[in-house]
């Protein structure tokens, strides 16, 4: 279980920053976003189930399309969104590369 946001659209910088912390921002039509908000207002404890592969959002009998750009969906479904984690996993390689760069000092 994680966090995500469903909305009509997102500012590019917000979308990018959200992706970097692992929070998908899915888009849905205005009507579907309004229906989701109504469902949550009716039951604030309602669970929303997102399927990134299928591109759907579902809650208490309501289902709608909720999509991500294909490359972003792939990053979230493969774990490639966590670029910091990927760097830390191969930190010896990062240090070796930094050692070869004349403009990086102090490593």
Q: What are 89's two structure tokens? A: 């996993």
CATH class as words, domain 5-100: alpha beta
Domain boundaries, the chain: 5-100
Q: Does residue 67 surpass a pLDDT of 80?
A: yes
pLDDT in tens, 32-64: 999 999 999 999 999 999 999 999 999 988 999
Q: Which of 57, 64, 60, 61 is nearest to 24 (CA)?
A: 57
Residues 6 or more apart whose CB falls under 8 angstroms from that of 89 comprise none
Phi, psi of 60 (to 5 degrees): 35, 60
Cβ pair 57, 63 in contact under 8 A: yes
Q: Does residue 86 surpass a pLDDT of 80?
A: no
């Amino acid at each position: 279980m994680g966090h995500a946001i469903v909305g009509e659209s997102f500012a590019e910088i917000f979308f990018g920053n959200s992706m970097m912390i692992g929070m998908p921002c899915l888009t849905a039509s205005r009507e579907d976003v309004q229906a989701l908000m109504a469902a949550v207002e009716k039951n604030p404890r309602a669970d929303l189930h997102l399927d990134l592969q299928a591109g759907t959002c579902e809650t208490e009998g309501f289902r709608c399309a909720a999509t991500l750009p294909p490359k972003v969906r792939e990053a979230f479904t493969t774990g490639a969104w966590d670029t910091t984690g990927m760097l830390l996993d191969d930190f010896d390689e990062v240090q070796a590369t930094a050692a070869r760069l004349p403009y990086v000092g102090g490593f």
